[in-house]
Amino acid sequence: MRRVLVLGSTGSIGVQTLDVVAANRDRFEIVGLAAGRDRAGLERQGLETGVTELALGIDEAVDLIRRVPADVIVNGITGSVGLAATLAALKTGATLALANKESLIVGGRLVTDAAAPGQIVPVDSEHSAIAQALRSGEHAEVRRLVLTASGGPFRGRTREQMADVTPREALAHPTWDMGLMVTTNSATLVNKGLEVIEAHLLFDVPYDRIDVAVHPQSIVHSMVEFVDGSTIAQASPPDMRLPISMSLDWPRRVPGVGAPLDWTRAQQWTFEPLDDAAFPAVALAKRVGQAGATYPAVFNAANEQAVVAFHAGRIPFLAITEVIERVVDAHRPVAELTLAAVLAAEEWARAEADRQLAGALNE
C-alpha cells in the first residue's frame, strides 16, 4: 500500500489522481490533499475520501508535506508557485510524481541537485512515454528524444492566420481538457517549449538531440530513437490516468487503468514537422534552456503575464510569444542560481512583461 499526498487536488491532474486511487484501493491510500483556492472543492474531496489532512494555499501545502508521511507526493499545482512544494517534497525522500513542470523548469539545477536518482517520476504524458521507452536501452544508446505535439487548435495555420484568434478559440483544444493557462500554452506551443526544457532536465539529453513532431491523433505520446536506428514509442488512447498511474507505482503498471488501443479497427497516425515560423515558442524555449541560469524562470513568468493579458482582451494572441521574447532578451541573469535568485528573476520578469504589455497597448 502506497501512501499518496496530492497537491492541486481540485485541478484536472488532482481529480484524475483521486479517480485512479479510488479504483485501486488495494494499492494506494490518500493521506493528504492540498488545493490552491478552491476551499469548497477541497472540503468536498475530504468528505468523499475520508481524509482529514487538508491544506489550502502553497504555504499550507508545504507544511502538509513536512507533517504527513507519504510514499508518493503528486505535485499537480499549476505554475511556478509549485517550486517550494517540489523542493519540500524532495527533502522528504518520497517519490515526487511531477505534473508541475514549471517548478522543475524554473528551479533547474536547484531541483535536480536536490533529487535522488529516480526520485522524480514525470506525470506529463510525453515525459512518462519517454521514461517508459528509455527502459529499452542504456543512456549512452540514446540518439534523440522526440516529443509529440497535437498541434493545438491552430495546427496548420500560418502566423498571419492567427492574428485575430479569440481567447475562446485558444481554449478549444482538440484532445485534452486542461485549465486556462495550460490550454493557452498548448495553443501557442509554449507548453511544448516548456516540455523540451523539462525533458532535458529529466533525462540529461542535450537540446540539439530533443525534437518535436506534430502528431494530431495524440496516440503516440513521445518516442526515443536509439543509436542502432530503432525508435521505441509509447502509444495509448489519450487518457491522463495512465501516466498518473505510472507515476504512483513506478515502474510497475496498474492493471485496467486505461483502455488499450483497438487493433481490430483501421486507424491512421500522421506525423508532421513543427512550423517554427508559425509557432516560434519552441525554438525560443530551446534558446532559453541552453542559456540556463534564471532565463527559464523569466520565460515562464513572462508567459504567465502575457496569457493573463490575452484573456483579459489587452493583447492579441500573437503578442504572447512576442512579449516573452522581448522580456527574455532584456534579462541579465545572476552568476549563481539560488532560490532567492529564481524568485527575484520571476518578480523582475513579471514587472518587465507588464512594462512591455503597456508598450504594446500604446503602439
Per-residue model confidence as pLDDT tens digits over 144-155 = 999 999 988 999
Q: Are strands 231-235 and 220-226 parallel, antiparallel or unpaired?
A: antiparallel
pLDDT 10s digits, 115-137: 999 999 999 999 999 999 999 99
In a domain, 257, yes or no: no
Band (pLDDT 50/70/90 cuts) for residue 160 is very high
Same structural domain, 337 and 299: yes
Contact between 12 and 240 (Cβ < 8 Å): yes
* Type of residue at 357: L
Both 114 and 164 in one domain: the answer is no
Kindly state whether residue 166 falls inside one of the protein's structural domains. yes
Q: What is the pLDDT of residue 197?
A: 97
Q: What is the pLDDT of residue 359?
A: 72
CATH code of 48's domain? 3.40.50.720
Residues 10, 102 within the same domain: yes
pTM comes to: 0.93
Cα separation, 297 vs 334, in Å, equals 12
Cell of 59: 504555504
Within 8 A by CB and 6+ apart from 362, the residues are none
Question: Does residue 360 surpass a pLDDT of 70?
Answer: no
> Is the pLDDT confidence value at 187 over 70?
yes
Count Cα neighbours of 266 within 13 Å in the Cβ-side half-sphere.
0
Residues 149 and 105 in one domain: no
- Same domain, yes or no, for 210 and 87? no
**Based on the domain organization, do 281 and 311 belong to the same domain?**
no
- Whether residues 144 and 228 share a domain: the answer is yes
Amino acid 175: pLDDT: 66
pLDDT band at 157 (very low <50, low <70, confident <90, very high): very high
Q: What is the CATH number of the domain that holds 329?
A: 1.10.1740.10
Q: 283-319, pLDDT tens digit by residue? A: 999 999 999 999 999 999 999 999 999 999 999 999 9
Is 278 in the same domain as 164? yes
Tell me how far apart the alpha carbons of residues 71 and 247 are, in angstroms, rounded to a whole number: 11
Domain that holds residue 41: 2-123+240-248
Q: What pLDDT is recorded for position 363?
A: 54
- Predicted confidence (pLDDT) at residue 17 exceeds the cutoff of 80: yes
The region of weakest confidence among 26-40, 165-179, 227-241 is 165-179
Mean pLDDT calculated for residue range 335-349: 91
Same-domain status, 100 and 6: yes
Question: Could you tell me if residue 268 is inside a domain?
Answer: no
Query: Does residue 266 lie within any of the structural domains?
Result: no
Confidence of residue 358 (pLDDT cuts 50, 70, 90): confident
**Is residue 29 domain-resident?**
yes
pLDDT at 178: 63
Q: Tell me what pLDDT residue 78 has.
A: 85
Whether 146 and 279 share a structural domain: yes
Residue 98 is predicted with a pLDDT of 98
Q: Does any domain span residue 129?
A: no
Residues 110 and 8 in one domain: yes
Do residues 222 and 244 both lie within one domain? no
Instruction: Tell me whether residue 94 is in a domain.
Output: yes
Domains in the chain, number: 3
Question: Residue 118: left if φ>0, alpha if ψ -120 to 50, beta else—which one?
Answer: left
Distance CA 186, CA 131 (A): 22
User: In whole angstroms, what is the distance from residue 278 CA to residue 290 CA?
Assistant: 22
215 within 8 A of 209, measured Cβ to Cβ: no
Mean pLDDT in residue range 60-82: 95
Task: Classify residue 130: in a domain, yes or no.
Answer: no
Q: Work out the mean pLDDT of the chain and round it to a whole number.
A: 94
